[in-house]
Structure 1
Amino acid sequence: MTKSLYMLKRLLSVLPILAVLAFKQAPTLPRVITPTFKKDTINIITYGAKADGITLNTKSINAAVTACSKKGGGVVVVPAGLWLTGPVELKSNVNLHLKKEALLQFTPDFDQYELVQSNWEGVPQWRNQSPLFANNQTNIAITGFGIIDGSGEAWRMVKKDKLTETQWKKLVASGGVLSSDKKTWYPSEKSLKGSTVKNAGYITPEKTLEDVKAVKDFLRPNLLVFNGCKKVLLEGVTFQNSPAWCLHPLMCEDLTVRNVYAKNPWYAQNGDGIDLESCKNVVIENSTFDVGDDGICIKSGRDAEGRKRGKPTENVVVRNCTVYHAHGGFVIGSEMSGGAKNIYVDNCTFIGTDIGLRFKTTRGRGGIVENIFVNNIVMKDIVAEAILFDMYYAAVDPVVLAGEKREPPKVETLPVTEETPQFKEIYITNVVCNNAEKAVFVRGLPEMNVKNIVLKDMVLRAKEGLYMTEADGFVFKNVKLYTTNTDPVLNVHNSKNITLEGIDYSAGSNVLINVSGEKSKGIVVTKTDTGKASKKFTTTYGANEAAVEMK
């Protein structure tokens, strides 16, 4: 091979990397339009509401909202006190405002929630009516200083492994039923039956309403679902104790979430904080999430249904937020079949989350996640991975429970189709993580690698450093990996066009990098003190030493 031909091939191999490096600035996002309201106010007391914790105020609150909307809009005030209610429907030009010390308590009486055709985990499904809902409304808000409680404990199943022995005994003694293996508690027989029916809530031609009623209690509602709404504001309120997801804006546009607190028990199954699904033009800022599943999550529909909808979540700013317990601090997926793009995350803190930055998908989803910009992230005490890209998501908890055994996914190369998902053009910079199990985990598909990712300017303290398989066009620049497992610090398997520049690591490490797999090539280590390790690199499982270049 001539020198000029070699140089041309080398240039072509690094073009994807150069393309990613070109993304120095996030895209210019359109201005998010916030709603405005008339100063007219209506107090729910005027419509007969009583704060005695006994009176069911469903009719009174909904009558106040309807009257306000018909008059051209304004503010519906929920005063201080405990207001028991069933589902509340928000309507155009109405701001539902909770005064300080107001507690809007949704009833645990399942009969107050009718079965409706809705959407759950990216697929049209039968669900119980959400406590707070709006469909195709414009200029709506929930604001104030009060608390909205979804009575989630009445709906949720609970795994034994997630409670102490005393907590478990108390829960079982309260009623409900146990699964056949006695490891999961369900609030009712209908709830247990639903867990045994495949796709219990799916809307299909052969399924009757009577079929769905037989498993009604299993079809837990999300606390808030705004579907197809425009100019939406959620501000100041605490949303807590949701039956399933806490906040679920679906196909909304011009959404502002500001100074909210989403709070669920840490063991709350499907207890996500906020799930943006197929939304456009969004700001989430100055908010706190302490929940049982993913904290701040981006979605866009699941599999064929998501691709058919074809609406990505796009033009999103997440800034100045804190996530405590959650499966992931900031998450994209796994239901991302409509795609996700032009998303900017800045100045967020994750404390005690299972995973910090979590990108997850699986075969069958399809969809493209691209143009994601993450900057200024602080993490502490991350249970598993600080940064994770996983294209083998299997719908299980990110941390293996005691006594649980998991087999690694079967690795095989399949044809690329519309069902093949993609992660590409993701730029993450200025991350500090103090204590994680793994610093970075990357697992792409053989037929569709995780592509063109930049991780830059980081200090990551963890037990293990980097594990990468099936990646193409990764740049690690100015990354400090201080790990207790130093054999090796970096694992690269069946990956190509990998640049490791300015890597610092623990002195006295056994091996800096192990390269494995016969597909590995174009791995460049540069501006790095390789002498701090006993061995610069090793090759295993068919990797060729020529795959690694030390500069």
Structure 2
Amino acid sequence: MKITLVRSLARSAMFELSNNTCYRAPAPYTVLLDGAEVLQGDTNVFSLFSLEPDRAYELAVTIGGETETLRFTTAKESFFVDASRYGLVADGETDNTAQLQAALSTCPAGGTVYVPAGTYRTQSLFLQSNTTLYLEKGCTLLGGTDRKKYPILPGVLPCCDEKTEHYLATWEGNPLDSFAALINIINAENVAITGEGTIDANAQNGDWYQNPKKKNIAWRPRLFFTSNAKDVVLHGVLVCNSYSWTIHPTYSENVDILNIRIRNSSHSPNTDGIDPEGCKNVNIIGNHVHVGDDCIALKSGKLFMGMKLHIPCENVVIRNCCLSRGHGGLVIGSEMSGGVKNVVVTQCLMDHTDRGLRVKTRRGRGKYAIIDGLVFRNVIMDGVFTPFVINMFYFCDPDGRSDYVQTHEALPVDEMTPKLGSLEMENITATDAQYAGCWFSGLPEQPIDRVSMRNVNISFAENAKPGQAAMMCGADASCKVGIHAENVRKIELHNVKITGYEGECLQLTNVGSFEED
């Protein structure tokens, strides 16, 4: 066993056990800090809080009779800013927005804004560079329910040269006026949010879920939003009851989302868990996500943003996460007109999500809408209806069911045509599947380049019920389909076992090269 320090902040730190298990540790363990027991755990990732800045510690983890030690030092801190000194009222009713914002805005560089235990009602807050927000255990930032008290972020900011534009707020991949998030990091760098507290958007007690696809003054806010940010850490906290997408970093670099918990009602509309959009160098490690839509969705804007900026979402690591009950475990798209590349998913547990790995795109996403370099390794799926879906006929948007999007006749490859490159799946176990084991649908004019599966075991539930594996026209309800593949240049199956299927295991149409052993 080896212990790795993933991230050390001034008052908290996160660690990871190095092994091959998915999310859960091989056995329960005990953690000692400087000789004193501080926690007992059973997951591969754990965190420590209430540490002292700029101090050396010795960590010891005992698991299965073996003990491993690690020395680490917390980061320095210039100033400690107790937000309660700014006049906070912890009754859950009084509006604390101005007081919290004052603490955040006056914190000197390198300082920590500390919010003690209590429930603090607030609207949108904006963090500045080189600061940390620490939420103490028992602290809750509770979102206000009146949308008129939330500021509106413009989708487009014009430049004085009357040519250049800056894109700020987004809604489902387009630059559209939206309410500011509860927590915002915009044009800032070296910012951290950490602690054992809670950020509760409280959306269920407002009107955010009424006519959710209709603009009401502005589009719905996110719970956590970044734009043009760099070196951002979100660590440890519980976030819940989001207005729409929960964690939404956009066009930012070096974003670490570490050991947080996300809880949204399974009935809440479009409350995705973690949606990096057009971001570079993203680490999503040790998180437990339970939401009403996709658990993790990688995006890069719709056609306008993709063609204008062509900034991909790239260099993403997703590891030791538990993804529960959402529509998809890891989803790519459908707003991915800037492309998605170099994504590695390992040691994740997907628990009763509708789909496991879900790639969704369509004609009209554009020539920069390229997905390539996806590696999906060491993953367990339990009760996932369809473990693998790659769908290039996704019927989203007002024209999603049009002949242009849905025809299976080859159309000319042009600047509107998306492309799927190499996708590798290895060491996957999926039990109690229902609709299909794999559903791969490429475009006839632009087939999926290559799908490689190695050491994959898929079994179906005995009482499986039919359903639509892929959201596309013509894909009627199916049940216990082994592998459905159309328009794929190359499929490689090495030690792939599918049990409990009905009918022909392999349903292949226009597959150029097929290897199986």
Q: TM-score range by the shorter chain?
A: 0.7 to 0.9
Q: Does 1:477 align with 2:494?
A: yes
**How far, CA to CA, are the matches of 1:464 and 1:370 in structure 2?**
26
Q: Which residue in 1 is equivalent to 2:327?
A: 327
Is the partner of 1:125 in helix, strand or coil? coil
Give unpaired runs (5+ residues) of structure 1: 1-34, 159-185, 201-214, 397-407, 503-551
Q: Which one of the candidate residues 93, 110, 113 is aligned to 1:76?
A: 113
1:426–1:453 Cα contact (<8 Å) kept? yes
Aligned to 2:192: 141
- Contact 2:457/2:498, CA 8 A, preserved across alignment: yes
How is 1:216-365 mapped onto 2 (pairs within 5 angstroms)?
216=217, 219-365=219-365
Whether the 8 Å CA contact 1:272–1:292 is kept in 2: the answer is yes
The offset of 1:252, in angstroms, is: 0.9
SS of 1:59 mapped into structure 2: helix
Deviations 1:397-424 (A, max 9, x none): xxxxxxxxxxx94322211112111111
Deviation at 1:63, TM superposition (A): 0.3
Select which of 37, 47, 72 maps to 2:86: 47
Residue 61 (structure 1) shift = 0.4
Correspondence for 1:59: 98
Quote the offset at 1:120 in angstroms: 1.4
The CA deviation at 1:456 is 1.1
Paired AA for residue 483 in structure 2:
L
Residue deviations 1:60-92 (CA, integer Å, cap 9, x gap): 000000110xx2231111111111111110111
Confirm or deny that 1:434 pairs with 2:431.
yes
The answer to whether the Cα contact below 8 Å between 1:44 and 1:78 also exists between their aligned partners in 2 is yes
Name the SS of the counterpart of 2:276 in structure 1: strand
1:155 Cα deviation (Å)? 5.1
Equivalence for 1:371: 373
Give the strand-richer structure, 1 or 2: 2
Aligned to 1:119, the other structure's residue is in SS state: coil
Partner amino acid for 1:445? L
Shift in alpha-carbon separation, 1:111–1:157, aligned structure 2, 3 A? closer
CA contact (8 A) 1:456 1:479 kept: yes
Corresponding residue to 1:94 among 121, 125, 131: 131
Name the counterpart of 1:533.
none
Three-state SS of the structure 2 residue aligned to 1:221 is coil
> Structure 2: how far apart are the matches of 1:273 and 1:493?
35
Asked if 1:497 is matched to 2:513, the reply is yes
Q: 1:446–1:459: structure 2 CA closer, same or farther, 3 Å change rule?
A: same
Shift of 1:426: 1.2
Q: TM-score with structure 1 length normalisation? A: 0.71
Residue identity in the other structure for 1:424? G
Structure 2: runs of 5+ lacking an equivalent: 1-73, 155-168, 398-404, 461-479
Conservation of the 8 A alpha-carbon contact between 2:300 and 2:337: yes
Q: Deviations over 1:454-495 (max 9, x none)?
A: 11111101222101111111111110010241x111100122
1:15 matched to which residue of 2? none
Q: Partners of 2:372 and 2:295 in 1: how far apart?
A: 20
Look up the match of 1:453.
451
Classify the secondary structure of the residue corresponding to 2:153. Answer: strand
Q: 2 CA distance for matches of 1:37 and 1:368?
A: 42
- Relative distance call for 1:360 and 1:155 in structure 2 (3 A) is farther
**1:55-204 alignment runs, 5 A limit:** 55-68=94-107, 71-117=108-154, 118-154=169-205, 186=210, 191=211, 195=214, 200=215
Are the structure 2 counterparts of residues 89 and 305 from structure 1 closer, same or farther at C-alpha, using a change threshold of 3 Å?
same
- CA 1:440–1:395 in 2, change beyond 3 Å: closer, same or farther? same
Give distance in 1, aligned partners of 2:98 and 2:151: 15
CA distance in 1, matches of 2:208, 2:254: 34
Counterpart in 1 of 2:15? none
Shift of 1:443: 0.5
Greater fraction of residues in helix: 1
Structure 1 window deviating more from structure 2 (347-356 vs 300-309): it is 300-309
The answer to whether the 8 A contact 1:157-1:269 is kept is no
- For the pair shown, which has the larger CA radius of gyration, 1 or 2? 1
Larger mean CA deviation between 98-107 and 304-313 belongs to 304-313
Is it true that 1:410 corresponds to 2:407 in the alignment?
Answer: yes
2:124–2:151: 8 Å Cα contact kept in structure 1?
no
AA in 2 matched with 1:77: Y
* One-letter amino acid of the structure 1 residue matched with residue 301 of structure 2: G
**Inter-partner Cα distance in structure 2 for 1:381 and 1:387:** 13
- In the superposition, the TM-score normalised over structure 2's length comes to 0.75
SS in 1 for 2:120: strand
Deviation at 1:154, TM superposition (A): 4.0
Judge conservation of contact 1:387–1:441 (CA < 8 Å) in 2.
Answer: yes
Instruction: Name the amino acid aligned to 1:439.
Output: G
- What are the Cα deviations for residues 368-411 of structure 1, in whole angstroms up to 9, with x where unaligned? 1101111001001113x100100011139xxxxxxxxxxx9432
Q: Deviations over 1:320-341 (max 9, x none)?
A: 0010111110111111111111
Structure 1 residues 244-270: Cα deviation after superposition (integer angstroms, max 9, x where no partner): 000000011111111001111111111
Aligned to 2:66: none
- For 2:106, what is the secondary structure of its paired residue? helix
**Closer, same or farther: CA 116–37 of 1 in aligned 2, 3 Å:** farther
> What secondary structure does 1:472 align onto?
strand
Shift of 1:93: 1.0
Deviation for aligned residue 1:122: 1.3
- Residue identity in the other structure for 1:153: Q
Contact residue 359 and residue 390 of structure 1 kept, 8 A: yes
Match of 2:179, as an amino acid? N
Q: Which amino acid aligns with 1:442?
A: F
- Cα distance in 2 for partners of 1:330, 1:380 equals 14
Maintained 8 Å contact 2:208/2:220: no
Paired residues of 2:174 and 2:302 also in contact (CA < 8 A):
yes
Q: Is the 8 A contact 2:246 2:274 kept in 1?
A: yes
Using the alignment, how far apart are the partners of 2:277 and 2:123 within structure 1? 25
Report runs of 4+ in structure 1 exceeding 3 Å deviation: 154-158
Q: Give the SS at the match of 1:276.
A: coil
What is the alpha-carbon distance in structure 2 between the residues aligned to residue 309 and residue 131 of structure 1? 27
What is the distance in 2 between the residues matched to 1:243 and 1:37? 35
